[in-house]
Amino acid sequence: AQSVTQLDSHVSVSEGTPVLLRCNYSSSYSPSLFWYVQHPNKGLQLLLKYTSAATLVKGINGFEAEFKKSETSFHLTKPSAHMSDAAEYFCVVSTTSNTGKLIFGQGTTLQVKP
Amino acid sequence: DAGVTQSPTHLIKTRGQQVTLRCSPKSGHDTVSWYQQALGQGPQFIFQYYEEEERQRGNFPDRFSGHQFPNYSSELNVNALLLGDSALYLCASSLGLAGSYEQYFGPGTRLTVT
């Protein structure tokens, strides 16, 4: 069965410093992986996705993630945090290649301090 | 181009009542999935509709049912409401069933059961 573990429930960084949100996955086949962001009282927005192409995936707003099969990880990074990045972030795996059931991690709250 | 829309935005119901939530997919999308997001948790998959049929179902009781119309819009029905059904209900749409396809989420319907 597929699953996702977000290793930190809360991450706090200062504005202008790097962001690292950690995610490990479990999948019995080659997975599709996603990162979504959820701002307060708003819906989920797709940041980026990995679907067996390049292992380094670039997304919106300067975020990127690297797929590491040997470590079963898909960590999200950004070189320099902005105040507007404060939100809830979800790492997501798709269960099978021919259906779109998404399995979400528990989420990581990113706090950005001025 | 309208994104995914959901109605109503908020809803308050009493235990034992029934509720219907509605979703219109992003223009051009033909697949709709529903998720339940309890407070402080990641979204949980309820079910997915494609070609007016339920294609996959998560671990939810039969009190949760749905429908997809010829115009691809969808409804989620919950019968015999319990306090534990209080949550944010999210609708997501995509073009096709494949797990690698991007899913676009609506803003959600906040259901409160008293």
Planar angle of CA A21, A24, A30, nearest 5 degrees: 125
Distances (CA, A) of A23 to A19, A73, A113: 13, 6, 23
Among candidates B97, B102, B104 on the partner chain, residue whose Cβ is nearest the Cβ of A49: B102
What's phi and psi for B83, nearest 5 deg? -55, -35
Q: Can you name the residues that pair with A46 across neighbouring β-strands?
A: A36
Residue A98 pLDDT exceeds 80: no
Q: What is the pLDDT of residues B73-102, one digit of tens each?
A: 999 999 999 999 999 999 999 988 776 778
pLDDT score at A97: 62
Tokens linked to A114: 């001025």
For tokens 């209080």, the residue is B86
Chain A residue with minimum CA distance to B90: A43
Residue A28 pLDDT exceeds 90: no
3-class DSSP state of A80: coil
pLDDT score at B26: 94
Best of B60, B100, B103, B105 to disrupt the A interface (most A CBs within 10 Å) is B100
- List chain A residues with CB under 8 Å of B97: 98-100
Among candidates A44, A52, A100 on the partner chain, residue whose Cβ is nearest the Cβ of B98: A100
Chain B residue with minimum CA distance to A90: B42
Tokens linked to A68: 């590491």
Whether A100 and chain B come into contact, CB under 8 Å, resolves to yes
CA distance A51 to chain B (A): 6
Mean pLDDT, residues B40-49 taken together: 94
b/e code A9-38 from CB counts within 10 Å (16+ = b): eebebeeeeebebbbbbebeeebbbbbbbb
Among candidates B41, B48, B106 on the partner chain, residue whose Cβ is nearest the Cβ of A43: B106
Q: What is the pLDDT of residues B8-30, one digit of tens each?
A: 999 999 999 999 999 999 999 99
d(CA A47, CA A90): 10
Whether B104 and chain A come into contact, CB under 8 Å, resolves to yes
Mean pLDDT, residues A5-21 taken together: 97
Reading across the β-sheet that carries B74-78, which strands appear in turn? B5-7, B19-24, B74-78, B64-68
Residue B53 pLDDT exceeds 80: yes
Alpha helices in A15-95 (DSSP H): none
What's phi and psi for B84, nearest 5 deg? -70, -10
In the structure, what pLDDT confidence band is assigned to residue A54 with cuts at 50, 70 and 90? confident
3-class DSSP state of A94: strand
Planar angle of CA A15, A20, A25, nearest 5 degrees: 155
pLDDT score at B15: 98
- List chain B residues with CB under 8 Å of A97: 98-100
Mean pLDDT, residues B65-69 taken together: 97
DSSP state of A84: G
